[in-house]
């Protein structure tokens, strides 16, 4: 076996030709989305009012394990994929661990994260269907950037509702999105009915992904030939993100390596679900038995402290009901620097796997996360996004446990993005002024109790 | 011949084991640096007071065509090299040109530019020699970031004098440098004698690379066990940057491609000199006849409008005299968004090649440059640095000329870095408020006439 290089690159021809639909392999399928009026499973026809047709089809597809990636999407993928799978030799040395640490690095494209994997697919399908404009929400701004890049490339108009807190923290991120030709509106805004309602109810809110989703959906459903696209939570997004796991598995396979534990940060769940997809299929089929670990912020702990119930996907209650781990759709997470993880719920596939005991979850405070981020940057030479740094923190802790036990575990984690637009957060670290927020049990209980009962 | 992929990656084992010392191949060597007092060539002993020994040796070495890269440097290179050579298929289609456009992309590391190539080497040699602290200057912040990364990795203290204009335009860039543990001081500062003198003479100055160099040199020569390191202009920096050209040549060779023209942006000249190095050796030896094009900002046109004379490398006149194209060492370029190109002079190798007619030069206004940058970002999916965008602009114009003539020229340009920390500049583009400044002939004449005569 050849010695393992720092960066394992697949060739352009090794870009997967099919996405992996994890649901098709699950014995216990996630519960269907429900229409809030009828309490019946949502139909293709209902979804297609909001999403373009192919995405609606993919959203409901729980039978095909593999779904072909169109040539027009692969052509865009070639501009930034395959992404490297990196052996963290320097981090291992820094920690003095016998563990072997690998990370799949999705940050080396201009959008700065894995979000581009799904953005390309979603804009491609919209364009094919003759859709002329799209709306979306963005938290940390990574999804908005990715979608702006894809929209510029395929020639589709784009309006981005950006969580107000992130828009204030990251004015430069906003300019990147504008540079690619999209319009950026801080959310909650006064441009939609739901935005005006939320602003009235919570006058000083810094917004949330849930609010921004409501605004984008309203705009899409009230504008001609317009559709809504979403960067996480949905099953079709998880499907597109399976390319992360597929490439990582193929890269490791070249050197006869298989992970003992796969770690990913979890906001809406798409990166985590995509990373673990092929390994989870192996686990379900019984060919391997890797562990999976979801890492969330203590300020927004949907898996570790939420409830597994039917809830709305958005704060404005415009979406179908999703059976998921949730803190309650009206829960507005405290402002934190991991804007991409400030979502009240969790993708239904990830939720189901977690509820079935196929996945573990843990949470960290942001000061703990940034400690890990800074160490990682210094030894691995990559400045990580706050979101991704949750996975780094957990991987480091796992490696330190191996140091105590002497285990040579193979750890794989997802490094979803870079922190170039998170410097105000790092500035707080540099100045020693970063603080933490952990919701009380009462706050969470109250938020869950306010949920509609189904 | 296999079809050419979007990105040509070399394997880790193909990282060059030696740098290429272009000077050794030049028939007309650049004139030696002179001691301003004695007017004699500077000696190793003089250089070694400012630079660490190995760099002083490399600076004076004009006989060895190849110089071994130590294993300890290659180990760091493996974290971010080889960098990809990219075929700009989408840009070619956008322009409708028969030209084949390639670019060597040096921006996919955390420092965001090619600067890391030399930073790693310089800190490595300092550490080997037992130096405990380093000083440097930074313009756009790319060099400061690169050096902070290398200093964090090897465990050496670092003080960065950052051009005041850049520090104001790029507060986030400053925080990246601090995140890697370095101290950042806006220049001209009140912490050095030369800084205080410059502040008194030009009270509202936004600084320049020349000023910042003076401050860093003063600090290095007045601090124990401290050395100065420089990100451009010097011949040893050009030497380290030859890895860009060596990799690009090896990548193209795999597909039987040789460039007809090689284009690079030119500030101090190190990226350009490094990119063209192996091709220039071929040209000098007569085995190939590629064209070379240096691209500068109209606001700081040292090659296109400067004089080829002996001048100081810095504004404070603390450095040796260098025979180079210069606008005069007291020339303070107008504030512009290409901070990394705001230098009054030009590396002596590049200057000599230009003077000997082996290289051409051109200049662009920043609005022209950002037009190209925005188009490039939309079709190639990479947000370029303003500095790098000068090369993009020239490459696009060359490709458009090919469209008129029908020539299938092979164009290779250097994409030195990303624009993530240049969003205030892109914001001006997005808002239509960017302006240009071109110095008058009188201004340049006056600046040159004020030079000391040798």
Q: Do A427 and B175 touch (CB under 8 A)?
A: yes
**Kind and range of the H or E run holding B165:** helix B164-169
Checking if the pLDDT of B453 tops 80, the result is no
CB A320 within 8 A of CB A348: no
- Which residue of B109, B374, B378 is in closest CB contact with A381? B109
Q: Helix, strand, coil proportions of chain B in percent (round to 5)? A: 45, 15, 40
Which pLDDT score is estimated for B196? 96
Q: Which chain A residue is nearest to residue B429, measuring alpha carbons?
A: A179
Q: Do B380 and A152 touch (CB under 8 A)?
A: no
Which pLDDT score is estimated for B336? 83
| Per-residue pLDDT tens digits for B229-245 | 999 899 999 999 999 99
Which pLDDT score is estimated for A215? 94
CA B122/CA A316 separation, integer angstroms: 56
Checking if the pLDDT of B2 tops 70, the result is no
Q: Do A378 and B181 touch (CB under 8 A)?
A: yes
Contacts of B7 in chain A (CB under 8 A): 12, 78
Contacts of A171 in chain B (CB under 8 A): 423
CB A85 within 8 A of CB A255: no
Mean per-residue pLDDT for B51-72? 97
Q: How confident is the model at residue B337 (pLDDT cuts 50, 70, 90)?
A: confident
Distance from CA of A10 to the nearest CA of B (A): 10
CB A371 within 8 A of CB A397: no
Distance from CA of A384 to the nearest CA of B (A): 9
Residue % of chain A over a pLDDT of 70: 99
Tokens standing for residue B293: 């094009």
| Per-residue pLDDT tens digits for A401-451 | 999 999 999 999 999 999 998 999 999 999 999 999 999 999 999 999 888
B137 bridge partner residues: B161
Distances from the Cα of B283 to the Cαs of B239, B292, B407, in angstroms?
18, 10, 21
CB B341 within 8 A of CB B297: yes
Could you give the dihedral angle defined by the CA atoms of residues B7, A116, A282 and A13, in that order, rounded to the nearest 10 degrees? Answer: -20
| Per-residue pLDDT tens digits for B105-152 | 999 999 999 999 999 999 999 999 999 999 999 887 899 999 999 999
CB contact B258 to A (< 8 Å) = no
CB contact B155 to A (< 8 Å) = no
Task: Supply the mean pLDDT for chain A.
Answer: 95
Checking if the pLDDT of B1 tops 70, the result is no
Which pLDDT score is estimated for A248? 98
Domains in chain A: ranges and CATH? 7-15+79-112+235-448 (3.40.50.1100), 18-67+115-228 (3.40.50.1100)
CB contact A79 to B (< 8 Å) = yes
Contacts of A152 in chain B (CB under 8 A): 377-378
CB contact A388 to B (< 8 Å) = no
Q: Do B378 and A178 touch (CB under 8 A)?
A: no
CA B414/CA B263 separation, integer angstroms: 7
Distance from CA of A135 to the nearest CA of B (A): 19
Contacts of B12 in chain A (CB under 8 A): 5-7
Checking if the pLDDT of A1 tops 70, the result is no
| Per-residue pLDDT tens digits for B413-435 | 999 999 998 999 999 999 999 99
Mean per-residue pLDDT for B49-66? 96
CB contact B382 to A (< 8 Å) = yes
| Per-residue H/E/C for A158-178 | EEEEEEHHHHHHCHHHHHHHH
CB contact B93 to A (< 8 Å) = no
Contacts of B425 in chain A (CB under 8 A): none
Q: Helix, strand, coil proportions of chain A in percent (round to 5)? A: 45, 15, 40
Residue % of chain B over a pLDDT of 70: 99
- Which residue of A9, A79, A175 is in closest CB contact with B427? A175
φ, ψ of residue B39 to 5 degrees: the values are 60, 20
| Mutation to test the A interface, candidates B119, B377, B415, most A Cβ within 10 Å | B377
Q: How confident is the model at residue A2 (pLDDT cuts 50, 70, 90)?
A: low
Which pLDDT score is estimated for A336? 83
Mean per-residue pLDDT for A59-71? 97
Distance from CA of B341 to the nearest CA of A (A): 22
Contacts of B78 in chain A (CB under 8 A): 5-7
| Prediction ipTM score | 0.93
Q: How confident is the model at residue B285 (pLDDT cuts 50, 70, 90)?
A: very high
Which pLDDT score is estimated for A211? 86
CB contact B255 to A (< 8 Å) = no
Which pLDDT score is estimated for A171? 85
| Per-residue pLDDT tens digits for A295-344 | 999 999 999 999 999 999 988 888 899 999 999 998 888 878 887 888 89
Checking if the pLDDT of B100 tops 80, the result is yes
Checking if the pLDDT of A220 tops 60, the result is yes
CB contact A258 to B (< 8 Å) = no
CB contact B152 to A (< 8 Å) = yes
Between B116-128 and B142-154, two packed helices, what is the crossing angle to 10 degrees?
Answer: 40
How long a stretch of residues is chain A?
454
User: By C-alpha distance, which of A120, A215, A130, A224 is closest to A164?
Assistant: A215
Q: Which chain B residue is nearest to residue A385, measuring alpha carbons?
A: B110
Which pLDDT score is estimated for A450? 83
Q: Do B90 and A80 touch (CB under 8 A)?
A: no
B227 bridge partner residues: B134
Q: How confident is the model at residue B166 (pLDDT cuts 50, 70, 90)?
A: confident
Distance from CA of B225 to the nearest CA of A (A): 23
Residue % of chain B over a pLDDT of 90: 86
Mean per-residue pLDDT for A176-194? 96
CB contact A74 to B (< 8 Å) = no
User: What pTM was computed for the model?
Assistant: 0.95
Which pLDDT score is estimated for B165? 86
Distance from CA of A24 to the nearest CA of B (A): 33
Task: Report which DSSP code applies to A34.
Answer: B
Which pLDDT score is estimated for B417? 95
Which comes out higher in pLDDT, residue A450 or B81? B81
Q: Do A429 and B5 touch (CB under 8 A)?
A: no
Task: Supply the mean pLDDT for chain B.
Answer: 95
Which pLDDT score is estimated for B199? 93
Q: Mind giving me the DSSP string for B50-113? A: TS-HHHHHHHH--S-SEEEPPHHHHHHHHHH-SPPEEE-HHHHHHHT-SSEEEEEE---STT-B
| Residue A87 φ/ψ region, left for φ over 0, alpha for ψ in the -120 to 50 degree band, beta for the rest | beta
User: By C-alpha distance, which of B47, B31, B48 is closest to B311?
Assistant: B31
Q: Which chain B residue is nearest to residue A176, measuring alpha carbons?
A: B423
Task: Report which DSSP code applies to A37.
Answer: T
| Per-residue H/E/C for A240-279 | HHHHHHHHHHHHHHCCCCCCCEEEEECCCCHHHHHHHHHH
Q: Do B80 and A172 touch (CB under 8 A)?
A: no
Distances from the Cα of B293 to the Cαs of B23, B233, B251, B360, in angstroms?
18, 17, 21, 5
Which comes out higher in pLDDT, residue B203 or B169? B203
Mean per-residue pLDDT for B271-289? 98
- Which residue of B12, B175, B426 is in closest CB contact with A7? B12
CB contact A201 to B (< 8 Å) = no
Checking if the pLDDT of B209 tops 90, the result is no
Which comes out higher in pLDDT, residue B204 or A245? A245
CA A184/CA A176 separation, integer angstroms: 10
CA B130/CA A329 separation, integer angstroms: 58
CB B119 within 8 A of CB B429: no
Contacts of A378 in chain B (CB under 8 A): 149, 152-153, 180-181
């Amino acid at each position: 076996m050849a010695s393992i290089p720092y960066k394992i690159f697949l060739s352009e021809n090794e870009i997967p030709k099919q996405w992996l639909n994890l649901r098709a392999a699950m014995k216990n399928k996630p519960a269907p989305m429900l229409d809030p009026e009828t309490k019946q499973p949502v139909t293709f026809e209902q979804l297609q009012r909001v999403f373009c047709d192919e995405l609606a089809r993919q959203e409901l597809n729980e039978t095909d394990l593999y779904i072909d990636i169109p040539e027009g999407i692969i052509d865009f993928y070639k501009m930034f994929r395959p992404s490297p799978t990196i052996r963290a030799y320097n981090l291992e040395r820094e920690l003095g661990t016998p563990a072997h640490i690998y990370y799949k690095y999705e940050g080396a494209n201009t959008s700065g994260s894995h979000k581009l994997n799904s953005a390309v697919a979603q804009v491609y399908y919209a364009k094919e269907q003759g859709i002329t404009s799209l709306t979306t929400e963005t938290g940390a701004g990574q999804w908005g950037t990715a979608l702006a890049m894809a929209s510029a490339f395929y020639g589709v108009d784009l309006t981005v509702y950006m969580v107000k807190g992130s828009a204030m923290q990251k004015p430069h991120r906003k300019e990147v999105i504008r540079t690619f030709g999209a319009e950026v509106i801080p959310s909650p805004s006064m441009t939609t009915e739901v935005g005006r309602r939320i602003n009235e109810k919570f006058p000083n809110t810094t917004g949330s992904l849930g609010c921004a989703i409501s605004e984008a959906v309203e705009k899409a459903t009230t504008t001609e030939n317009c559709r809504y696209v979403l960067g996480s939570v949905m099953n079709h997004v998880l499907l597109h993100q399976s390319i992360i796991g597929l490439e990582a598995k193929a890269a490791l396979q070249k050197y006869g390596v298989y992970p003992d534990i796969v770690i990913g940060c979890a906001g809406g769940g798409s990166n985590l679900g995509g990373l673990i997809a092929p390994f989870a299929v192996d686990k379900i089929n019984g060919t391997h038995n890797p562990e999976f670990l979801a890492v969330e912020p203590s300020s927004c702990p949907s898996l570790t402290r939420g409830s597994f119930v039917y809830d709305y996907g958005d704060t404005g209650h415009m979406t179908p009901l999703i059976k998921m781990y949730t803190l309650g759709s009206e829960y507005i997470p405290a402002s934190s620097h991991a804007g991409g993880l400030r979502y009240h719920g969790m993708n239904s596939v990830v939720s189901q796997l977690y509820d079935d005991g196929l996945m573990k979850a843990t949470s960290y405070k942001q000061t703990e996360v940034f400690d890990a981020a800074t160490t990682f940057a210094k030894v691995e030479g990559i400045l990580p996004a706050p979101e991704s740094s949750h996975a780094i923190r957990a991987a480091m802790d796992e490696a330190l446990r191996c140091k105590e036990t002497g285990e040579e575990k193979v750890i794989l984690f997802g490094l979803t993005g870079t922190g170039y637009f998170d410097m105000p957060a790092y500035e707080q670290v540099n100045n020693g002024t970063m603080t933490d927020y952990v919701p009380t049990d009462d706050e969470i209980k109250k938020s869950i109790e306010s949920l509609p009962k189904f």
